[in-house]
Amino acid sequence: MNEWIQAIFNVFTNPTFYKSTLTQSTPLILAALGGVFSETTGVTNIALEGIMLMGAFGGVMGSYFTGNPWYGLLLGTFFGVGMAALHAWASIKYGADQIISGTALILLAQGITGFALVELFGQPGSTDLVRSIPLVDLGSFKQVPFVGDIFGNLSPFVYIAFASVAFGWILIYKTKLGLRMRSVGNNPESADTLGVNVYNVRYFGVIMSGFFAALGGAYLSIGELGQFTTNMTNGRGFIALAAMIIGNWNPVGAMSASLLFGGATAFNNQLQSQSVLNLSTNTQYIFGMIPYIITLIVVGGLIGKSRAPSADGVPYIKE
């Protein structure tokens, strides 16, 4: 017992834990924000997992062929927006079942990236290492005890994620466009009678979800690892959806829930690194389930308490 207490104490007093929380949360924040944009306008988008995967692959592909990771980021977001456009086309224009459409896009993304991995890079499993987007070095600030170890050398994606949350909150709650988004997500018929183009607003929400989810995927490849591996999103798109629900379809709430899940992953990683515990392989596997267990417990506890937009998931057919 004393070893466990010491190990937990070591985790929470180590700045690496807090830095890891930020880096683990970043792709979740971006993807969850994408989900907020889409579902605020009334379109359920479970395809976040597939969009993130395409964003990650596009990031590596662009960096590999141009030598510039920023071009990779551009290509990754282009792929993500393209996937979101397919979802919008099916679910908005033709009123397709949004769950089925999203599921199909996830399978499509897995198939495309698996096939292209062999065709473009000549090998299954993973690509070669490519140039990553450089970290933001805060110079002398890194010398500040504890705080400098956390914030002194982070990926620009971390700052982009938090800036995007502020942007999303302001747009949705403080602008005329945001009012239209919420109106369309709750009562599209009334919004239509007031002259709001329901279809255009929903297209905007879904396209924005593709942009932000692709940013989250690109972070995994060219912001963190420097390569693409098969199914490297590893369920993060679904955790992002859970974060969106826990955050009550609010950008700030989704960010807070993403930090919770990121912290759970960081805690798991840091705890496993404690030599005083000497964990067995089976125990390490069990600890690896922590973020997913937390997802199930928290989402299960919130069923019936959090409230989605009233028309979320309901196709709108103008009569």
What pLDDT is stored for residue 37 in this prediction? 98
Nearest one of 142, 165, 171 to 254, comparing CA atoms: 165
Nearest one of 281, 291, 274 to 9, comparing CA atoms: 274
Query: What stretches in the chain show pLDDT beneath 50?
Result: none
Residue 24 half-sphere exposure toward CB, CA atoms < 13 A? 25
CA distance 203 to 199: 6
How far, rounded to the nearest angstrom, does the alpha carbon of residue 216 sit from its chain's CA centroid?
5
What pLDDT is stored for residue 183 in this prediction? 97
What pLDDT is stored for residue 201 in this prediction? 97
> Would you give the DSSP letter of residue 126?
B
What pLDDT is stored for residue 232 in this prediction? 94
> In DSSP terms, which residues pair with 126 in a beta bridge?
229
What pLDDT is stored for residue 164 in this prediction? 98
What pLDDT is stored for residue 16 in this prediction? 93
CA distance 21 to 267: 8
Whether CATH 2.40.128 fits 2-302: no
Q: Residue ranges of the domains in the chain?
A: 2-302
* pLDDT, tens digit, 9 for 90 and up, residues 13-72: 999 999 999 999 999 999 999 999 999 999 999 999 999 999 999 999 999 999 999 999
Burial class of residue 303, CB neighbours in 10 A (0-12, 13-18, 19+): exposed
What pLDDT is stored for residue 10 in this prediction? 81
CA distance 63 to 82: 19
* pLDDT, tens digit, 9 for 90 and up, residues 200-233: 999 999 999 999 999 999 999 999 899 999 999 9
Is residue 82 a contact partner of residue 211, using CB atoms and an 8 Å limit? no
